Amino acid sequence: MEKYWNHNTAFHEELVTDAKTRGGRVLDIGCGDGLLLQHLAPFAQIVVGIDPDTETILRAQTRLAEVSNVSLITGDFLTMPIPSQEERYSTVICVATLHHMELRSALLKMRQVLAPGGRLLIVGLAAYYHGTNRWAVTSNAKLTDTVVQ
């Protein structure tokens, strides 16, 4: 089979390299089948994946059965409880998922679960979300304005 480019995995190496510098707790929003979690686990204290799809989480459980520092959550990130200060994440990753959520709510929630000095890594902002609102990120200022307010 010919090798092809996959937007869901294309940036895994960069994401792991970045997260490795902080270690600690890592959250993967929209973790899917757990492939990124599998790559992150050797470099983090704990990796947590959340995905709303039960079947996908079951595939992740199978993939990660032998990995002891992984926790999987079936659910909606936007309704996930805010962790205590000590349990916030040093790295929050969102790959090909943000466009499935209301932008402002998602970014604010990501900020709330991020530890002070932590890093938010987002891959795959779509030009459309929720079918009615059109937006395009043309500069970091737009994301900063949304998160900081």
| Residue 4 in domain | no
Q: What's 68's domain CATH number?
A: 3.40.50.150
| Residue 2 in domain | no
Residue 28 to residue 51: CA distance in whole angstroms: 9
What does the pLDDT read at residue 105?
Answer: 93
Q: What DSSP string runs through the chain?
A: ------TTTTTHHHHHHHHHTT-SEEEEET-TTSHHHHHHGGGSSEEEEEES-HHHHHHHHHHTTT-TTEEEEES-GGGSPPPPGGG-EEEEEEES-GGGS-HHHHHHHHHHHEEEEEEEEEE---SEETTTEE----SHHHHHHHHH-
Mean pLDDT of 1-27: 79
Q: For the chain, what is the domain count?
A: 1
CB 146 within 8 A of CB 103: yes
| Residue 3 in domain | no
Residue 65: give the domain boundaries. 12-148
State pLDDT tens for residues 47-97.
999 999 999 999 999 999 999 999 999 999 999 999 999 999 999 999 989
Q: For residue 101, name the pLDDT band (cuts at 50, 70, 90).
A: very high
